[in-house]
Structure 1
Amino acid sequence: MKPLVFITGASSGIGQALALRYHQAGWRLALVARRVSEMQAWCQQQGMSAETTRCYQADVSQVDSILGAAHACMTDMGVPNVVIANAGISIGMDTSIRQDLDVLSQVLSTNVVGMAATFHPFIDAMKDRAKTNGSASVGTLVGIASVAGIRGLPGHAAYCASKAAAISYCESLRGELKPQGFSVVTLAPGYIKTPLTSKNKFPMPFLMSADDFAHQAYKAIEQGTSFKVIPTPMAWAARLMRILPDALLDRAFKNQPRKHRAP
């Protein structure tokens, strides 16, 4: 039987591009999103058959919702070989405004708790499958973080905090699960041309298409890369940002436009 990949946030952007890349590679697809009708229409346009592709409606910020989709996937299609926790949101915030504390909670629930909830139901199932098959390789868990998780950016407090947490969470998970045969991959996209970034009103260096990102991400996942910033020029910029003194970082971002707040 063809291998199976489970992808959240698959109705647009990076998730959709990853779904297409895995489809082209011959994988079966379990696709999850809140906007399931849009996802189903796109699958039909791509010629994806019901035998190889299933769409599930879920909101990763609601734990029981994503758990339900995961269990439905395992009932319908079996245990995935690769699980990609891609669903995420990016909303600017201002800590001086009361309602933006709710924005922070929403972003953390989606980008961090949602990632953990996406992985949770598959861990024991993957271990049981490996034990039954006598396989040393258990499965691959992929967390889509962001280069924004490396340093905090003005107006991006919620998003940067959530992606920094996602990076650390996946690193912790890798330490826990690698001895058991799991591969845990953390991908940190730079600026990718998606609906998420289309509203940004500030420069986006090294902007790349979602399809190009998906191609590089697929290779990194297949190789079991522990952490990768995509694209490569952004990886070098990320290394510089890590070591840049605070005074220089503050000066660099002094006049940068803030991330837009939600209406």
Structure 2
Amino acid sequence: MSGTQAPLVFITGASSGIGQALAARYYRAGYRLALSARRTSEIEAWALEQGIDRGRLQIYGADVAQVDSIVAAGQSCIARQGLPDVVIANAGISVGMDTAQRDDLGVMAQTFAINNLGLAATFHPFVAPMRERGGGRLVGIGSVAAIRGLPGHGAYCASKAGVVSFCESLRCELRASGVKVVTVCPGYVDTPLTQGNRYGMPFLLQPSEFAERAYRVIEAGRSYRVIPWQMGVVAKVLRLLPDTLYDRAVQGRGRKKRRGEQ
């Protein structure tokens, strides 16, 4: 299909990493692309390098940490390209924190602003029209880190646990409407978000492999999935461990780098 007949996907955080890989996968599937990021020049460069048909691409500059900014991008998408079939709230940050450090409370506030409020604001313009249409998919990108807290990851783990709970609430709200809410929780994916981590990253996936698996989950309308599945098994085992055993298991584990750390 071409033009306005082709399905449409709206993706935030599309300038790099998982967002960019998802954009490439959906483009190969014949979708039109509505890509949003602060760094629009990086999307432009990627589109040129990939030979993306500009008739199937619109770029929206937006900061998900600013509610009015990302809501306006969603509204502009509807006005220019129509109501998307799939909306993927992918934009997110991961920064280490130490609660004893005053500046790191600001890191936590920014993390929640992007990873949680930004996700809800991304969905906001599309919920009512999708409900009226009787269909669509709203996709929240969580993390396996949502399942148990990790040392030095207080802001990130809490925010991603919030993503999982928020998407579950929204899924229940929209269940009778025909709108699917999908929660995808990546394990470790080789992106700028994970590069430089000071600990082992089992079952590490390349962004393209993650995007392929996530695409299949989203298209099937699954409610929740950890990718890769092996990481989901590990996470469930860790969730079942008594706190004393879990605390001992993560003692001495490398902490996520704080802002400004080399």
Q: TM-score, normalised on structure 2?
A: 0.96
User: Which piece of structure 1 moves more, 118-127 or 86-95?
Assistant: 118-127
Alignment correspondent of 2:42: 38
Q: Does 2:69 align with 1:72?
A: no
**Which residue identity lines up with residue 111 of structure 2 in the other structure?**
V
> 5+ unaligned residues in a row in structure 2: which ranges?
none
Q: Does 2:225 align with 1:221?
A: no
The superposition leaves residues 134-166 of structure 1 with CA deviations (integer Å, 9 ceiling, x where unpaired) of: xxx411000000000000000000000000000
Structure 2 distance, partners of 1:242, 1:253, is: 13
Q: Secondary structure at the match of 1:185?
A: strand
Matches within 5 A, 1:234-249: 234-249=231-246
Alignment correspondent of 2:17: 13
Deviation of 1:68 after TM superposition, in Å, equals 1.1
Q: Does 2:175 align with 1:175?
A: no
Deviation of 1:181 after TM superposition, in Å, equals 1.1
Q: Does 2:208 align with 1:204?
A: no
Contact 2:131–2:174 (Cα < 8 Å) also in 1: no
Structure 1 distance, partners of 2:222, 2:236, is: 17
**Which residue identity lines up with residue 36 of structure 2 in the other structure?**
V
Q: Secondary structure at the match of 2:248?
A: helix
Q: Could you list the structure 1 runs, at least 4 aligned residues long, displaced by more than 6 angstroms after superposition.
A: none
The superposition leaves residues 159-213 of structure 1 with CA deviations (integer Å, 9 ceiling, x where unpaired) of: 0000000000000000001111110000000000001100211111111111000
- Matched residue count: 256
Deviation of 1:78 after TM superposition, in Å, equals 0.4
> 5+ unaligned residues in a row in structure 1: which ranges?
131-136
- Identical columns (%): 57
Structure 1 distance, partners of 2:76, 2:159, is: 28
Q: Secondary structure at the match of 1:188?
A: strand
Contact 2:95–2:156 (Cα < 8 Å) also in 1: yes
Match of 2:92 among 88, 98, 119: 88
The superposition leaves residues 100-127 of structure 1 with CA deviations (integer Å, 9 ceiling, x where unpaired) of: 0010000001000000000000011223
Alignment correspondent of 2:114: 110
Q: Does 2:227 align with 1:230?
A: yes
Deviation of 1:241 after TM superposition, in Å, equals 1.5
Q: Does 2:182 align with 1:185?
A: yes
Q: Secondary structure at the match of 1:51?
A: helix
Give the superposed CA RMSD: 0.7
The superposition leaves residues 215-236 of structure 1 with CA deviations (integer Å, 9 ceiling, x where unpaired) of: 0000000111000000011011
Structure 2 distance, partners of 1:162, 1:176, is: 21
Match of 1:53 among 37, 51, 57: 57
Structure 1 distance, partners of 2:183, 2:31, is: 21
**Which residue identity lines up with residue 21 of structure 1 in the other structure?**
R
Q: TM-score, normalised on structure 1?
A: 0.96
Q: Secondary structure at the match of 1:184?
A: strand
